[in-house]
Structure 1
Amino acid sequence: MSGPARAPRRSARAHDAVLAAAVALLEEGGLAHATVDAISTRSGVSKATIYKHWPNRTAVAAEAFGRRMAGAAALPDTGSARGDLTEQVRRTSEFLASGAGRVFGQLLAATVGDPGAAAYLRDHFLTGRRAASAELWGRAMARGEVRESVDAETATDLLLGPLVYRLVGGHAPLTGTDADAVADAALNGLLATP
């Protein structure tokens, strides 16, 4: 086979190796552990190649994290808006309280001042999570259980934003009881009255 046909496969293998190395390093020591030097050493891919495909280590880590977490959370289906949305808040709280949640917090903090890396976190992780929440909201809307004037984006921010704030601020716990209290407070303002 000719060289040009092999190059994309070689590039895809290098891309996968970089992301696998970044995932392993994130799991071992968080974002601080996932330096470009460490990713290069672990993956066997040169730093020049890494920088050819990503603007910095935070972008690599954000894409790797998104790949690792893809499909990690199935949508709840309790048959009611209150049940589904409360369970979604609980699951998000559990995630944020886990080791993966701490890595997410590190990535979130690192991307605040880095729009390029922020796009990777958004594209490879947040967009999928927000789409799942929008699906739950759409189901609730179709059943007539929520206010039609509230869109999925706003509902997601109201339900899940407090949890991220707790993760970043560290001012309150991320327990199941606390998640239920957050969901209850938000839903009492969001659910349609019978």
Structure 2
Amino acid sequence: MSTPRQVPSTTARSAAASPETELSPPRRPGRPRSERARQAVIQAASELLDEVGLRATTADRIAARSGVSKATIYKWWPSKYAVAVDAFLSEMAGTAPAPDTGSAREDFRLTLRGLMRFYSGASGRVFAQLVAEAQTDPAVAAELRDHLVAERRSLVAPIWQRGVARGELPAQVDPEVGLDLIFGPAMYRLMAGHAPLTDTAADAIVDAAMCGLSR
């Protein structure tokens, strides 16, 4: 489950806000969020995203489904896209955790398998909508990059570090490039739809990447 996160300032967000985000009240300091209410909002958002998609999921619908007021939701998240990102993070934490098996190859294989399962399901199709939305809305792109992508990469970075320490991976390779080689193909397959998102595909990608990196 994702933990409450620090949010960029409203000044930074408003500079590139879309009509959707311009209408969203900024987060304000106040009482700490109730974990039960936060969970209710995340659950409601996840259900709505699967049922009606990203565009039709609104703060009003999330509020009605969760029982948490719209005003309270906007105190904790700046837009529906921020709620969606937290919902995706929560689901990814369950489907694609970062294990520590003692082998970088096995850790990457298990993590990529989980990511493939997420991408190949209903949530993956909605996630693709979020990625598409980010191409034309800088505020959505920042939300996706600074929270979901950054948090996921911080979870898998230790796999690379342990692999280097054990001599499984070359220390001279930029970890950011190495992680792109391993996890980038899954996103490409999700968006292009040219190849399957399966456990077999995940294993083949990791094997090919590790073969090249270990030379």
State the TM bucket, normalised to the shorter chain.
0.7 to 0.9
The residue correspondences of 1:161-172 to structure 2 (distance < 5 A) are: 161-172=184-195
The residue correspondences of 1:147-186 to structure 2 (distance < 5 A) are: 147-186=170-209
Question: How far, CA to CA, are the matches of 1:107 and 1:151 in structure 2?
Answer: 28
1:78 maps to which of 101, 115, 118: 101
Deviation by residue 1:46-85 (Cα, 9 ceiling, x = unmatched): 6566556545432332233324444553323333222222
Shift of 1:33: 3.6
Kept in 2, the 8 Å contact 1:63–1:120? The answer is no
The residue correspondences of 1:100-139 to structure 2 (distance < 5 A) are: 100-139=123-162
Q: Which has the larger radius of gyration?
A: 1
Aligned pair 1:94/2:117, yes or no?
yes
Higher helix proportion: 1
**What SS does structure 2 have at the residue aligned with 1:91?**
helix
TM-score by length of 2: 0.71
Question: How far, CA to CA, are the matches of 1:162 and 1:13 in structure 2?
Answer: 35
Amino acid of the structure 1 residue aligned with 2:153 = R
Deviation by residue 1:157-185 (Cα, 9 ceiling, x = unmatched): 11110110000111111122222222222
Amino acid of the structure 1 residue aligned with 2:86 = E
Amino acid of the structure 1 residue aligned with 2:44 = A
Question: How far, CA to CA, are the matches of 1:107 and 1:141 in structure 2?
Answer: 34
Question: How far, CA to CA, are the matches of 1:41 and 1:77 in structure 2?
Answer: 40
Question: How far, CA to CA, are the matches of 1:88 and 1:18 in structure 2?
Answer: 27
Kept in 2, the 8 Å contact 1:147–1:190? The answer is yes
Gaps of 5+ in 2: 1-29
**What SS does structure 2 have at the residue aligned with 1:75?**
coil
Matched with 1:42 is 65
Q: Superposition RMSD on alpha carbons, in Å?
A: 2.8
TM-score by length of 1: 0.77
Question: How far, CA to CA, are the matches of 2:186 and 2:113 in structure 1?
Answer: 10
Amino acid of the structure 1 residue aligned with 2:191 = V
